[in-house]
């Protein structure tokens, strides 16, 4: 056996010990999936759904990074990408929010409420621009911070991007209060074409991703000196999770090795870590700090 083969085998075994074996990853993922499946009917009745996302959901259990990412969104507000998607038979207490992606940076949108807002917290985040009303991302983040503080469960609460960050014991929790959209923005059509061109992910994964839509989180672009409070960022956490689930174990270990290298080498002393990987046509493929990785740049 060549030295290269021995090194490759040792690296594979070492990564399995550090990241997890195929069986361990399957158990971790299924535990989270089953818990969410069982809790979802109760969450719908209460009017707000939550989803575990990030590295924990993907199956990683890094000892040095034990944070938990959770996304919450109200069920009685439907985000639309086009007015034609509005239903005339909307249920009482439900309202529509229109996503506008004109005159915004790639991966960012504005949210315009079309009907009366049944969720009291959302009404507090509405601001006017000319003769139209929009939901302010900065006000929405403050509401998330207030909700987290009122729970009395968290301590050392701070704001981090679109999330309210707090600790339960020694475990850091990143809570993102967001909106869900069943429809994909037209900006993501380039990614859909790439999937068809390269035959990955598998068709059932691709269909599941499109069927579940995307999320909109409360943070504006940092291109200007000050953040635009009317801008919201598209988040594809659910799509990313499905893509990671579609990897074989060797691919997942390579993905985990990149995460380790990013955290411990590239972004070791960086407060706001980002890493983008571009393909030849300048489409953004990967942003390890999540979000607009499925949007054409």
Q: Give the whole-angstrom CA distance, residue 241 versus residue 259.
A: 15
**SS3 for 30?**
helix
Distance of alpha carbon 132 from alpha carbon 109, whole angstroms: 15
Residues of the chain with pLDDT under 70: 1-2, 63-66, 87-93, 115-120, 187, 224-226, 268-297
pLDDT for 253-290, tens place per residue?
A: 999 998 888 888 877 666 555 554 444 443 433 343 44
- Give me the pLDDT at residue 90, please: 57
According to the model, what pLDDT value does residue 290 have?
43
pLDDT of residue 222: 76
Domains in the chain (CATH in brackets) are 3-287 (3.30.460.90)
With beta carbons less than 8 A apart as the criterion, state whether 147 and 48 touch.
no
Residue 34: helix, strand or coil by DSSP? helix
DSSP for 185-197, written as a single string: -GGGHHHHHHHHH
Take residue 215 and report the two structure tokens written for it. Answer: 């999320």
Summarize pLDDT for 75-104 with one digit per residue, the tens: 888 899 888 777 654 555 677 899 998 888
Please report the pLDDT score of residue 293 as a whole number.
43
The model's pTM is: 0.84
Confidence at residue 120, expressed as pLDDT on a 0 to 100 scale:
63
DSSP state, residue 281: T
């Amino acid at each position: 056996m060549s030295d290269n083969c021995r090194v490759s085998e040792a690296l594979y075994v070492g990564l399995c010990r550090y990241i997890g074996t195929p069986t361990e990853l399957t158990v971790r993922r299924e535990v989270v999936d089953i818990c969410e499946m069982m809790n979802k009917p109760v969450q719908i009745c209460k009017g707000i759904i939550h989803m575990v996302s990030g590295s924990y959901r993907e199956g990683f259990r890094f000892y040095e990074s034990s944070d938990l990412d959770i996304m919450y969104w109200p069920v009685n507000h439907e985000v639309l990408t086009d007015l034609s998607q509005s239903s005339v038979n909307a249920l009482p207490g439900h309202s529509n929010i229109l996503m506008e992606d004109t005159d915004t940076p790639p991966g960012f949108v504005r949210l315009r409420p079309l009907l009366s807002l049944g969720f009291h917290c959302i009404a507090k985040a509405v601001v006017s621009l000319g003769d139209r009303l929009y939901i302010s991302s900065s006000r929405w983040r403050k509401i998330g911070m207030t909700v987290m503080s009122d729970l009395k469960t968290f301590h050392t609460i701070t704001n981090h991007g679109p999330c309210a960050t707090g600790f339960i014991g020694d475990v850091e929790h990143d809570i993102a209060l967001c909106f869900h959209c069943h429809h994909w923005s037209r900006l993501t059509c380039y990614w859909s074409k790439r999937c068809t061109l390269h035959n990955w992910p598998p068709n059932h994964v691709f269909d599941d991703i499109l069927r579940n839509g995307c999320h909109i989180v409360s943070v504006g672009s940092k291109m200007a000196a000050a953040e635009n409070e009317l801008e919201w960022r598209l988040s594809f956490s659910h799509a990313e999770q499905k893509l990671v689930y579609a990897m074989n174990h060797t691919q997942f270990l390579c993905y985990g090795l990149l995460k380790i290298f990013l955290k411990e080498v590239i972004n070791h002393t960086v407060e706001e870590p980002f890493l983008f990987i571009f393909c030849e046509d300048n489409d953004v493929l990967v942003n390890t700090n999540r979000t607009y990785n499925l949007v054409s740049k």
